[in-house]
């Protein structure tokens, strides 16, 4: 099992946040990216509906430049890395660095991803920075992970998923897993976000990995799992006491 911190690199990751429920997914992803020595830079773009969501679900509001610190710092305990490497870009600025394929980004995720944004990406609309950067990711053959969320799916949603997937995107619905015996909301969120980061080319050695039903959760994984959940629980004291999920 490799170490996440052993090999400093200079990955550039784009994170889009749109107006689908699950601001905590974006928050956890940004915290883990900010703490990851393999990541040099994170470019963050938040849609208008995404900003409403951050306000509604995390109580984060303010000027664009204040968003990284606001998101990473919201409900934070000790041990949360500063948001210094996260640069927030105006979503209306379709001329920003990440709007061009010549800008050397490594991977992008939209977390959470609304059905509206899925539609924009599936049709190549490129009318804002998030959909343009996603369009660039696809045309450049870079990893693009769409953390879609809605229930139930309409035929339009499903057709858009298919279209985006066939163009090269990874459709990663915000669906939690339960085989790692989650005890808290943080357990659910962290496992899901670790899977997303793995899809971005940032494998997470501390996420739970299934080794077969009879093997179950082995002792080493159990220990590491508790360790990463401990960090997450520090980060989210408001959810620490939630036990029944």
- Contact set for ligand FMN, span 38-97 (CB under 6 A): 47, 49-50, 52-53, 56
Phi, psi of 192 (to 5 degrees): -65, -50
* CB closer to ligand FMN out of 26 and 202: 26
How far is CA 122 from each of CA 21, 101, 125, 175, 220, rounded to the nearest angstrom? 20, 18, 8, 21, 41
Stretch that binds ligand FMN, among 70-78, 115-123, 179-187, 195-203 (CB under 6 A): 115-123
173 binds ligand FMN (CB under 6 A): no
* CB closer to ligand FMN out of 114 and 221: 114
* CB closer to ligand FMN out of 95 and 152: 152
Question: How many residues at the interface with ligand FMN, by CB under 6 A?
Answer: 16
* Closest-CA residue to 134 (of 14, 3, 7): 14
Phi, psi of 60 (to 5 degrees): -100, 125
149 binds ligand FMN (CB under 6 A): yes
150 binds ligand FMN (CB under 6 A): yes
114 binds ligand FMN (CB under 6 A): yes
* CB closer to ligand FMN out of 80 and 111: 111
* CB closer to ligand FMN out of 42 and 53: 53
* CB closer to ligand FMN out of 85 and 149: 149
Interacting residue with ligand FMN among 89, 105, 109, 117 (CB under 6 A): 117
- Contact set for ligand FMN, span 212-241 (CB under 6 A): none
Residues that bind ligand FMN (CB under 6 A): 18-21, 47, 49-50, 52-53, 56, 114-117, 149-150
């Amino acid at each position: 099992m490799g170490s996440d911190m052993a090999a400093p690199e200079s990955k550039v990751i784009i994170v889009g946040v749109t107006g689908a429920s699950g601001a905590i997914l974006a928050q956890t992803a940004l915290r883990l990216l900010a703490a990851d020595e393999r990541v040099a830079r994170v470019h963050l773009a938040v849609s208008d509906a995404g900003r409403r969501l951050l306000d509604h679900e995390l109580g984060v509001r303010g000027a664009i430049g204040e968003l990284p610190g606001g998101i990473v710092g919201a409900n934070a305990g000790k041990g949360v890395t500063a948001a210094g490497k996260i640069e927030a870009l105006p979503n209306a600025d379709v001329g920003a660095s990440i709007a061009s394929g010549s800008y050397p980004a490594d991977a992008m995720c939209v977390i959470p991803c609304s059905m509206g944004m899925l539609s924009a990406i599936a049709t190549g609309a490129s009318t804002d920075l998030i959909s343009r950067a996603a369009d660039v990711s696809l045309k450049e053959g870079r990893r693009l992970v769409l953390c879609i969320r809605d229930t139930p799916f309409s035929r339009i949603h499903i057709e858009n998923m298919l279209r985006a997937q066939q163009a090269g995107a990874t459709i990663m619905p915000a669906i939690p897993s339960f085989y790692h015996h989650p005890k808290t909301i943080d357990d659910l969120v962290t496992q899901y976000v670790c899977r997303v980061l793995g899809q971005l080319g940032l494998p997470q050695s501390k996420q739970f990995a299934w080794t077969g039903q009879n093997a179950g959760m082995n002792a080493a994984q159990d220990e590491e799992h508790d360790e990463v959940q401990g960090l997450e629980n520090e980060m989210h004291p408001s959810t620490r006491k939630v036990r029944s999920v």
